[in-house]
Amino acid sequence: MTKFPISPIFIPANKLDYVDKALNSGADGIIFDLEDSVLQEDKISARDNLYAFLVKNSLDILSYIRINDLNTETGITDLDFFKDLDYGIIIPKFESDKDFIKIPDKLSIIPLIETPLAIKNLGKIASGRNVTGLAFGAADLSSIIGSEMNWDSMLYARSKIINECSINNIFSIDSPFMDTLDTKGLESESKLSKSIGFNGKATINPSQINVVKKYFLPTDEEIEEAKEIIQAFNEGNKGVFSFKGKVIDKPIIKIMENRLMISGNDK
């Protein structure tokens, strides 16, 4: 699986002065947004300024560009504009394997799953060329199907995304929590998101970053446990063994390895 961010933050492409604040707040990923957060009349200047910024600055952090919908001229131009830069491209309204026709072979892409048709075609999307992960857009999906955006309403879509990401060994980023003042709500949703298998959760405000990390990053005790279990597995040469009362087999070892990878202790 490609390395992925735990708490990537959306930054409007026309507000690049927010980058320093995001970095100082502990973000481990940045999503430069050309779509929803930029007004139509500002999209060309935002694109130009973002390109100049990325060419001039080398960011020591996982960074992505969310372009506009490829069903629009703006989105097609965005894709052509940034195709030669070494950044992952997040593509909104990605709905079927037919969308791959519009994308150059060498690009690393993250389809944004936010429509009913995307959910229906999820297997073909997740297995597509150069797809390194899937991101979930709960706001758009709920508005299209006419549901609330609460956890229960969005659980089916989230579960399908996690399942397809697991099958194709790609990462999954959950939709951001939209109420920046509701810390308890963010904590609850982050905990649930992690518990069902998401690898990370997007953020829209620096205040959300550490909350997401709290629930997605393993604790020091969990890291130490993973190291001890893997060491015992390597030294014992057994398919199944007991560790402090827990039955350990290969699937558990995989979980422990993923835990160390997420924490950066897999070297």
pLDDT digits (tens, 9 = 90+) for 61-103: 899 999 999 999 999 999 999 999 989 999 999 999 999 999 9
Phi, psi torsion values for 183, nearest 5 degrees? -65, -40
74 and 190 co-located in one domain = yes
Q: What is the DSSP string of the chain?
A: -----SS-EEEETT-TTHHHHHHHTT-SEEEEESSTTS-GGGHHHHHHHHHHHHHH---SSEEEEE---TTSHHHHHHHHHHTTSS-EEEETT--SGGGGGGS-TT--EEEEE-SHHHHHTHHHHHTSTTB-EEEE-HHHHHHHHT---SHHHHHHHHHHHHHHHHHHT-EEEEPPPS-TT-HHHHHHHHHHHHHHT-SEE-BSSHHHHHHHHHHHSPPHHHHHHHHHHHHHHHHHT-SSEEETTEEE-HHHHHHHHHHHHHHT---
225 and 204 co-located in one domain = no
Query: So what's the pLDDT on residue 266?
Result: 63
Longest Cα–Cα distance of the chain, Å, equals 64
Residues 159 and 193: beta-carbon distance below 8 Å? no
Residue 118 lies in a domain: yes
Cα four-point dihedral sign 263, 90, 133, 211: positive
Query: So what's the pLDDT on residue 94?
Result: 96
192 and 237 co-located in one domain = no
Task: State the Cα–Cα distance between residues 65 and 68, nearest whole angstrom.
Answer: 10
Residue 48 lies in a domain: yes
166 and 256 co-located in one domain = no
Residue 248 lies in a domain: yes
Q: Residue 176: which of 188, 165, 162, 186 has the closest Cα?
A: 186
Residue 3 lies in a domain: no
93 and 189 co-located in one domain = yes
18 and 70 co-located in one domain = yes
205 and 193 co-located in one domain = yes
Total domains present in the chain: 2
Helices 183-196 and 151-168 pack at an angle, to 10 degrees, of: 40
136 and 166 co-located in one domain = yes
209 and 225 co-located in one domain = no
113 and 203 co-located in one domain = yes
Residue 1 lies in a domain: no
- Virtual torsion, Cα 150, 156, 162, 163, nearest 10 deg: 170
Residue 184 lies in a domain: yes
Task: State the Cα–Cα distance between residues 34 and 10, nearest whole angstrom.
Answer: 10
Residues 118 and 99: beta-carbon distance below 8 Å? no
Query: So what's the pLDDT on residue 219?
Result: 77
Query: So what's the pLDDT on residue 267?
Result: 56
Task: State the Cα–Cα distance between residues 135 and 137, nearest whole angstrom.
Answer: 7
Domain span at residue 242?
220-263
Residue 258 lies in a domain: yes
230 and 127 co-located in one domain = no
| CATH code of 186's domain | 3.20.20.60
142 and 159 co-located in one domain = yes
Residue 56 lies in a domain: yes
Query: For the stretch 54-64, what's the b/e string if a residue is b when 16 or more beta carbons lie within 10 angstroms of its beta carbon?
Result: beeeeeeebbb
pTM: 0.87
- Which residues, given as ranges, of the chain have pLDDT below 50? none
Cβ atoms < 10 Å from Cβ of 77: 15
